[in-house]
């Protein structure tokens, strides 16, 4: 070393070791971004598969779809592609559409008592309804075995069946039926109004043809309406407890407005209370409410 070097002051610079180590990039952010991208891709694929018509729906076994997707994405980023365990979700059956044959199968079997009753009520309703509609008389003429002179009207005179109910049916072994039908008609015109007639009865004969179909065998046969029976005596009048009256009035209110107690009586079955209730016409009708016990 020369004298000149000895005379010059010596300076030492301190460099931290961290500056000497090669700089390493933090890959955690890249890894997190990769996980998110893969998870989003898997969710998009699953969404498209579910939207595809007719395609089976697959979901990860025993785990929610989103949670399983994240687990799979992490595995892909660290240990290579791994196929997740998939299970086939049950396919929901489409709503069943019933054919005409299915609906017909729910109807009464041909030749049954129920079908005979329905045919008889239908026949009586159309037969005694005359309102100027030719389709009804044409249908009746087609159903009858012989040509008959049916009443006609231009609509000025009207006969209208208010109701028709079968009250009895007799079945013969050879496929014939005799159905007793009670009915009531309204008769009159639009100017003078309509009168409600008495309840009448007819017997309707039906036969089963070669194809198993029921056919009207004759015109309505005159019948008789059974006499009205005599009802047993009503319970004797008695004063019902207030709680019984309130409970019965609440029940009466379901049938009409402003229920008003008319009378009360008790028997072995409990209390019988008579209320009058109003309807939309402004009239009031007496009805009975039964309360057991008390």
Residue 8 lies in a domain: no
Q: Single out the residue in 164, 188, 222 at which a domain terminates.
A: 222
Q: Which residues pair with 261 in a beta bridge?
A: 275
Counting Cα atoms < 13 Å in the Cβ hemisphere of 203 gives 11
- Cβ(115)–Cβ(108) under 8 Å? yes
pLDDT at 177: 94
Judged by DSSP in three states, 73 sits in helix
- For the whole model, what pTM was predicted? 0.54
- Cβ(157)–Cβ(182) under 8 Å? no
pLDDT at 41: 80
Residue 176 lies in a domain: yes
Is the pLDDT score of 62 beyond 80? Answer: no
User: Of the segments 104-118, 148-162, 271-285, which one has the largest average pLDDT value?
Assistant: 271-285
Boundaries of domain holding 63 = 17-88
Q: Single out the residue in 164, 192, 222 at which a domain terminates.
A: 222
Distances 40 to 45, 47, 71, 119, 201 between C-alpha atoms, Å = 9, 10, 12, 67, 79
For a pLDDT cut of 90, what percent of the chain falls above it?
A: 36
Q: Other CB atoms closer than 10 Å to residue 143's CB: what's the count? A: 14
CA angle 227, 233, 237 (to 5 degrees): 145
59 closest CA partner among 74, 45, 77? 45
User: Of the segments 17-31, 95-109, 128-142, 240-254, which one has the largest average pLDDT value?
Assistant: 240-254
Residue 263 lies in a domain: yes
- Between CA 8 and CA 21 the distance in angstroms is 32
Instruction: Tell whether 173 and 140 lie within a shared domain.
Output: yes
Instruction: Tell whether 184 and 267 lie within a shared domain.
Output: no
Residue 98 lies in a domain: no
Question: Tokens representing 56?
Answer: 């089976």
Q: What's the Rg (C-alpha) of the chain? A: 45
Instruction: Tell whether 268 and 199 lie within a shared domain.
Output: no
pLDDT at 18: 55
Instruction: Tell whether 57 and 161 lie within a shared domain.
Output: no
Is the pLDDT score of 264 beyond 90? Answer: yes
Better-predicted residue by pLDDT, 247 or 55: 247
- Between CA 258 and CA 126 the distance in angstroms is 40
Instruction: Pick left, alpha or beta for residue 41 (phi over 0 → left; psi -120 to 50 → alpha; otherwise beta).
Output: alpha
Q: Which residues pair with 198 in a beta bridge?
A: none
Total domains in the fold of the chain: 3
Instruction: Tell whether 123 and 71 lie within a shared domain.
Output: no
Instruction: Tell whether 131 and 205 lie within a shared domain.
Output: yes
Least-confidence region, from 3-7, 55-59, 210-214 = 55-59
- pLDDT tens, residue by residue, 94-144: 445 545 445 444 444 555 689 999 999 999 999 999 887 777 777 787 777
Residue 36 lies in a domain: yes
Instruction: Tell whether 147 and 49 lie within a shared domain.
Output: no
Is the pLDDT score of 65 beyond 60? Answer: no
Q: Single out the residue in 188, 222, 256 at which a domain terminates.
A: 222
pLDDT at 169: 93
Instruction: Tell whether 57 and 116 lie within a shared domain.
Output: no
pLDDT at 249: 96
Residue 234 lies in a domain: no
Better-predicted residue by pLDDT, 28 or 25: 28
Average pLDDT over residues 86-91: 50
How far does the chain reach from its first CA to its final CA, in angstroms? Answer: 131
Average pLDDT over residues 248-258: 95
Instruction: Tell whether 162 and 251 lie within a shared domain.
Output: no
Residue 191 lies in a domain: yes
- Between CA 174 and CA 235 the distance in angstroms is 50
- Between CA 244 and CA 137 the distance in angstroms is 55
pLDDT at 254: 95
User: String of b and e for 100-139 (b: at least 16 CB within 10 Å)?
Assistant: eeeeeeeeeeeeeeebbbbbbbbbbbbbbbbeeeeebbee
Instruction: Tell whether 113 and 179 lie within a shared domain.
Output: yes
Confidence of residue 247 (pLDDT cuts 50, 70, 90): very high
Instruction: Tell whether 129 and 208 lie within a shared domain.
Output: yes
Crossing angle of the two packed helices 65-79 and 28-51, in degrees rounded to 10? 130
pLDDT at 239: 92
CATH code for the domain in which residue 182 is found:
3.10.450.540
Averaged confidence pLDDT in the chain: 76
DSSP single-letter state for residue 37: H
- Cβ(265)–Cβ(236) under 8 Å? yes
- pLDDT tens, residue by residue, 197-235: 999 999 999 998 888 888 899 999 999 998 888 887 888
Residue 200 lies in a domain: yes
Is the pLDDT score of 181 beyond 90? Answer: yes
Instruction: Tell whether 73 and 161 lie within a shared domain.
Output: no
Average pLDDT over residues 18-44: 70
Distances 38 to 136, 139, 157 between C-alpha atoms, Å = 74, 74, 84
């Amino acid at each position: 070393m020369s004298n000149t070097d000895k005379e010059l002051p010596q300076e030492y610079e301190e460099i931290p070791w961290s500056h000497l180590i090669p700089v390493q990039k933090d890959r955690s952010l890249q890894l997190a971004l990769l996980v998110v991208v893969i998870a989003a891709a898997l969710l998009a694929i699953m969404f498209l598969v579910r939207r595809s018509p007719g395609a089976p729906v697959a979901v990860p076994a025993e785990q929610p779809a989103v949670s399983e997707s994240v687990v799979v994405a992490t595995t892909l980023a660290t240990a290579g592609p791994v196929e997740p365990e998939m299970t086939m979700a049950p396919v929901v059956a489409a709503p069943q559409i019933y054919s005409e044959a299915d609906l017909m199968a729910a109807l009464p079997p041909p030749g049954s008592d129920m079908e005979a009753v329905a045919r008889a009520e239908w026949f009586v309703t159309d037969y005694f309804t005359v309102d100027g509609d030719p389709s009804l008389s044409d249908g009746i003429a087609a159903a009858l075995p012989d040509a008959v002179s049916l009443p006609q009207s231009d609509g000025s005179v009207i006969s209208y069946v208010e109701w028709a109910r079968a009250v009895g049916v007799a079945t013969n072994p050879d496929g014939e039926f005799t159905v007793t039908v009670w009915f009531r008609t309204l008769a009159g015109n639009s100017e003078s109004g309509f009168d409600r007639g008495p309840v009448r009865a007819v017997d309707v004969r039906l036969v089963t043809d070669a194809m198993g179909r029921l056919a009207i065998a004759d015109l309505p046969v005159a019948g008789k309406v059974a006499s009205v029976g005599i009802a047993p005596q009503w319970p004797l009048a008695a004063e019902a407890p207030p709680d019984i009256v309130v409970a019965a009035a609440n029940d009466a209110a379901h049938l009409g407005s402003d229920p008003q107690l008319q009378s009360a009586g008790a028997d072995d079955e409990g209390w019988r209370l008579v209320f009058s209730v109003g309807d939309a016409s402004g009239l009031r009708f007496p009805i009975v409410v039964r309360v057991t016990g008390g």
